[in-house]
Structure 1
Amino acid sequence: MSLSLEQLRRCSVAVDLGAARTRVYLKGTGLIVDEPSVCAVNLRTGGLIAVGTPAENMAGRTPGHIAVVRPISGGAVVDITMAQRMLRQFVGEKVRRAWRRKPLLRAAACTPFDAHPLAQTAAVETLTGLGARRVELVDTLVAAAVGCGLPVEQPEATMIVVCGATTTQVAVLSLGALVAAESVPVGGDAIDRAVVQHLRTRHEVMLAGHSVRPLHLVLSGPDAASGAEVHGRDVVTGRARSVRVDADGVRNATHVPMTAVIDTIGSVLRRCPPDLVADLGDRGIMLAGGSARLPGLDSMIGQATGMPVHVAERPDICAVEGLGAMLEGKVRPLPVGPPAA
């Protein structure tokens, strides 16, 4: 890890290209971009109408000649040109001019640990198209663990679960490297679909996809016992209708996708040496990622594993904050020297 840390300290910008949100960290400044990874495009002219939050608000409300697209899926860039156009709008002309004044600008980007070489190439090409002369790729799991404050560089086990929009990654780390890691194609979007299906089956109401996440937040708050009122379209009549949803029903609906995450955690633990698993008995599991705050996820994992489960203070930005800490030199490698006399 010491070699990669030395290379990362030479970088000026860190980028987390997530399926749900894109985040940019500028060295010496901090987080400058935290926007949805969404673009609205005019199909007739090819022009970019909006990016980020304004484009996300257009989803499901556009005429036929306007498309709302996501150039990033599962932590991988699927449309390089659109991703570059989106990033240009995010960072703004002032920052781009500052980048152009640095002829040897280096950038760092988060990628899934099991990313295909083509996906890694797409991430590199996306940033080189914005002026980066060199791009360093860092595992999202390692960056998120650093952002959570876990001592990943120490010779002891740390377990991190990054719950993204389309994928959940699980890993045990020690000495700055992955000891065992797996990913499962289940994330916040799959859980949202389970909630939408539950409302359609139980209450005969079609709920808009962008309304599911606020529903999660309400049902995980202090007033969860009283339930929440949601507005949707009646399946039979097609008219607008409101229903009251209870928290227990939503938790039961999300049981199946959450079980897949728990099975992946168990698989990773079975592949770890006993000494590292013993370390985790006291330290527990850290949840990060934008979907880490889903109601019932931490308690369900704790009951299944028998280990304490912690949710990061800011789980959604852990990866980019960890990458920024590496750029700023806040992460130190283990000292290497002659044995003590």
Structure 2
Amino acid sequence: MTASLEQLRRCHFAVDLGAARTRVYVKGAGLVVDEPSAAAVNTRTGALIAVGEFAEKMTGRTPHYIRVVRPVSGGTVVDIEMAQRMLRHLLGDKLRRTLRRKPRLRAAAAVPHDADPLAQRATVETLVGLGARRVELVDTLIAAAVGCGLPVEQPEATMIIVCGAATTQIAVLSLGSIVTAARIPVGGDAIDHAVVQHLRQHHALMLPSQSVRPLQLALSGNGLTPQGPEQTEIHGRDVATGLARSVHVDTAAVRSAIHTPLTAVLDGIGRVLRDCPPDLVADLTERGIMMVGGSALLPGLDQMLRNAIGVPVHIAERPDVCAVRGLGEMLEGRIQPMALNPLTD
């Protein structure tokens, strides 16, 4: 599925279609689009009302005839037509005209590990609808590893965890290829849901959908670790009366609630390590694990993995844009493959 570096150097732009955000890298111009993967549609007329950040803000605040849709789920395009319309508006007329002037426009796209042929076809058709004559597919795991500066081309073990909104992908890389990998259908959205359910069941409080992630980030600074504050104040709506109410929540209980869905991630890491050759596992005890993706910023997540696995866990710089940055490095020709010439007798 991963295209060769020579093919990627001929591409003019790259797209990372994520469940949470869509990012576009244009060769020579850098990252030009970094917006939420959301679109607001008027169901009466079919007209597109807003895309990106503005559409995200409209979630839960629209009249009945306006619906906020997400054409991408788990890195897979589930609505090709809506994904094309969203990308057209995110790129803008000026940039689309510039790209259309390119002879034989080529595009690259990051797709999840082990994506089925139908999911790959949906990604290709989405970019073909934007005018691309050829689309190269790159495994998200390899793109993210390149984007965070890991030496993927060397004969050494490199373990990476891509923490997305809908899925978590885990892989051990060596010599520019994936040795063993797993994809778990648990991501940042599952953690958000666990926090919402905890507040509803134990405090009879309904939290606005857009307040879950800011709440978790507000508890960063060791907030969701044993060294953090014991309690924090949360504002929401009372389940019984429907009135606004504030409660003091025990952060230890919130920490326990978000650990529940993360047990699947720990199981996936253990499965990948069991399938990995012993020599590569020995390398990981020194090099550690690199975490990328927007959900890697969840407070306390790296410490929990560090305690459970017993190896160093690092968070990449700007983990949310590592995949599209890796695609850009390949487009610009900054990645040189390791030459493995056959020996002659």
Query: Normalization by structure 2: what TM-score?
Result: 0.96
Q: Deviations over 1:298-325 (max 9, x none)?
A: 1111111110000111110010001111
Cα distance in 1 for partners of 2:214, 2:270 equals 30
Q: Where in structure 2 are the equivalents of 1:99-110 lying within 5 Å? A: 99-110=99-110
Aligned to 2:293: 289
User: C-alpha separation between the residues in 2 aligned to 1:3 and 1:145?
Assistant: 15
Q: CA deviation at 1:116?
A: 1.1
Aligned to 1:53: 53
Pair 1:252 & 2:256 matched: yes
**CA distance in structure 2 between the aligned counterparts of 1:338 and 1:70, rounded to whole angstroms:** 48
**RMSD over equivalenced CA pairs, Å:** 1.7
What is the alpha-carbon distance in structure 1 between the residues aligned to residue 56 and residue 298 of structure 2? 21
Cross-structure match for 1:123 = 123
CA distance in structure 2 between the aligned counterparts of 1:193 and 1:37, rounded to whole angstroms? 19
What's the CA shift for 1:246? 3.7
Contact 2:3 2:138 in 1 (8 A): no
Q: CA deviation at 1:261?
A: 0.4
- Structure 1 residue 112: deviation in Å? 0.6
Query: Superposition pairs for residues 329-340 of structure 1, below 5 Å?
Result: 329-337=333-341
SS in 2 for 1:254: helix
Counterpart check, 1:238 vs 2:242? yes
Is 327-336 or 169-178 further displaced after alignment? 327-336
**Could you tell me which amino acid in structure 1 is paired with residue 45 of structure 2?**
T
Judge conservation of contact 1:233–1:241 (CA < 8 Å) in 2. Answer: yes
Which amino acid in the other structure matches residue 243 of structure 1? V
- Provide the secondary structure at the position in 2 that maps to 1:214: helix
**Aligned equivalent of 2:204:** 204
Letter in 1 for 2:317: E
Q: Aligned partner of 2:340: which letter?
A: V
Structure 1 residue 12, shift from structure 2 partner: 1.0
Q: Distance in 2 between matches of 1:314 and 1:211?
A: 22
Distance, in Å, in 1 between the alignment partners of 2:215 and 2:127 is 35
TM-score (norm 1): 0.97
Q: 1:176 to 1:202 in 2, by over 3 A?
A: same
Question: Offset at 1:230?
Answer: 2.2
Q: Structure 1: which 5+ residue stretches go unaligned?
A: none
Match of 1:311 in 2: 315
Matched residue, 1:327: 331
Using the TM superposition, give the Cα deviation of residue 229 of structure 1 relative to its aligned residue in structure 2, in angstroms: 2.6
C-alpha spacing 1:2/1:21, structure 2 compared with 1 (3 Å): closer
- Tell me how far apart the structure 1 counterparts of residues 177 and 8 of structure 2 sit (CA, whole Å): 16
User: What percentage of residue pairs aligned between the two structures are identical?
Assistant: 70
Q: Which residue of 2 aligns with 1:10?
A: 10
Contact 1:2–1:333 at 8 Å: present in 2 too? no
Runs of 5+ in structure 2 lacking a partner?
Answer: none
2: CA distance, partners of 1:254 / 1:3: 37
C-alpha contact (below 8 Å) 2:3/2:137 kept by paired residues: no
1:28 and 1:257 map into 2 onto residues whose CA distance is: 41
Q: 1:89 to 1:3 in 2, by over 3 A?
A: closer
Q: Per-residue CA shift, 1:233-280, capped at 9, x if unaligned?
A: 101111111123343222111111111101100000000000110110
Partner SS state of residue 193, structure 2:
helix
Q: How does 1:1-341 map to 2 (within 5 A)?
A: 4-221=4-221, 224-225=228-229, 227-337=231-341
* Equivalent pair of 1:251/1:295 in contact (CA under 8 Å): no
Aligned residue for 1:62, secondary structure, equals coil
Query: 1:317-340 CA deviation, whole Å, 9 max, x = no partner?
Result: 010001111111111100234669
Structure 2 Cα separation of the partners of residues 140 and 285 of structure 1: 16
**Residue type at the aligned position of 1:95:** L
> 1: CA distance between counterparts of 2:289 and 2:133?
37
Cα distance in 2 for residues equivalent to 1:192 and 1:21: 16
Residue correspondences, number:
341
Distance 1:228 1:331 in 2: 46
Which amino acid in 2 is paired with 1:160? Answer: I
Query: Residues of 2 paired with 1:319 and 1:245: CA distance?
Result: 35
